[in-house]
Amino acid sequence: MFKKILLATSGAPSTFGAARVAFDMAKRYGAEVVVFNVMGVPTKAFSQVVNDVRTGEEIEVDDEYRAWVEEELKSTFEKQIESVEYAKIVTTTGVPSREILRAARAEDADLIVMGASSGDSSAYRKGYPGSTLQRVAKAARCPVMTVHRETASYWGGFGNIVFATDFSKQAENAFKFALNSAKELGCDLTLFHALDISGKVLDQNDIEDKLIAARARIRETYGPLMGDFKDFDIEVWEGVPYVEIVKIARERSADLIVLAHHSRELDPELASIGSTLEQVILRAGCPVVSVSKPDKV
């Protein structure tokens, strides 16, 4: 199911968790890892000067610098690169989200794996809103896995997957991915919906009714798609969605959370605070996969 994994990394320690997951998966599935690095964000109009993604310093990209970055990446991930059958390093300059998307398309990647903050240039963000993650998650054709914490990188493979649905169209795509993964990896799957009661005044009976309805809706929506897969259960909890998603993931000792990304909002002030996806990524103890498009699931 994963033939090619695009690991988007700045090479900084904050992306080591992502790297570990990417390489472990590649090892398990014989996939190729493309270690992808955006060296700098173009600045100063048409000149060769870019802002280094890591340090924010101005650098001039030439063959020498490129070679140096590649060497750095090679030694950072040396052991891991050796442990998989196919790996290559690709570097470029540009706006990180754009270049990650471009590379995923060019490489026909089946999965993008990245850290939660793969090099956001604040100067860039002001002009073009949206964090790298939001932009990649929104537009990628393939699922995007984010590994926020080093501890979140898994050690023993995936055993429990939580799929959180908001019944959107994108959630169908996310469901397919979750189900396929569960089948392929032999995991337990929890189908979960968080009934959003934030900012609402509902009485207990109302809540109960809605919980029952949501359960039924999950059963109706996804039940027929289960085929012969049996290892699943359904949960519906009320609360603030991201909190509940993180809670159930913890309760089930989930190794993976799968959810849809379908926010059209890219303005960081509006989206990042409200975005369930981002909050889940920041708070979850395990990798999070977001799915937006029906391809590659």
Partner 1 sequence: MPEGKFCNKTPINTEEQLKATLGDKGGKQYYEEMNQLDVDSDKLWASIQKTMKSRTKTWLEICAHCGLCAESCFLYQVNGRVPEQVPSYKIQSTLGVMVKKKGKVDNAFMQMCMETAWSKCTCCNRCGMYCPLGIDMGVMFSYLRGLLYSQGFVPWELKIGSGMHRVYRAQMDVTTEDWVETCEWMAEENEEDWPGLEIPVDKVGADIMYTCNAREPKHYPEDIAEAAILFHVAGENWTVPSEGWEQTSLSMFAGDWECCKDNVLNVYAALERLKPKRAIGTECGHAHRATVIEGPYWAGRPDGQPPVPYIHYVEWLAEALRTGKLKIDPTKRIKEPVTLQDSCNYVRNQGLKDVTREILSYIVEPGYFVEMAPNKEHNYCCGGGGGFNGIGKYREQRNVALRKKMEQILDTGCKLVIAPCHNCWDAIRDLEEEYKIGIRWSFLKPLVIGMLDVPKHLLPPEE
Closest distance to partner 1 from the beta carbon of 112 (Å): 14
Closest distance to partner 1 from the beta carbon of 190 (Å): 23
Q: Give the chain's largest Cα–Cα span.
A: 68
Q: Which is nearer to partner 1, 127 or 227 (CB)?
A: 127
Say how far residue 64 (Cα) sits from the centre of its chain. Answer: 32
Q: Which is nearer to partner 1, 79 or 264 (CB)?
A: 264
Closest distance to partner 1 from the beta carbon of 162 (Å): 22
Q: Which is nearer to partner 1, 91 or 153 (CB)?
A: 91
Q: Which is nearer to partner 1, 67 or 213 (CB)?
A: 67
For residue 172, count other CB atoms closer than 10 A to its CB: 18
- The footprint of partner 1 (CB under 8 A) covers 42-49, 60, 62-64, 94-95, 98, 101-102, 105, 123, 126-128, 139, 167-169, 264, 293
For residue 44, count other CB atoms closer than 10 A to its CB: 10
Q: Which is nearer to partner 1, 66 or 247 (CB)?
A: 66
Closest distance to partner 1 from the beta carbon of 128 (Å): 7
Contact criterion met (CB below 8 Å) for 115 and 146: yes
Residues 6+ apart with CB under 8 A from 159: 187, 188, 253, 255
Q: Token pair for residue 234? A: 């359904």
Closest distance to partner 1 from the beta carbon of 106 (Å): 9
Q: Give the HSE-up count for residue 104: Cα atoms under 13 Å, Cβ half-sphere.
A: 26
Closest distance to partner 1 from the beta carbon of 73 (Å): 21
Q: Which is nearer to partner 1, 230 or 264 (CB)?
A: 264
Say how far residue 18 (Cα) sits from the centre of its chain. Answer: 10
Closest distance to partner 1 from the beta carbon of 2 (Å): 22
Cα angle 126, 148, 197; round to 5:
80
Q: Which is nearer to partner 1, 44 or 88 (CB)?
A: 44
Instruction: Give the span between the Cα atoms of 50 and 157, in whole angstroms.
Output: 39
Ranges assigned E (strand) in the chain: 4-8, 32-42, 49-52, 58-60, 86-93, 111-115, 144-147, 160-164, 188-196, 232-239, 256-260, 288-291
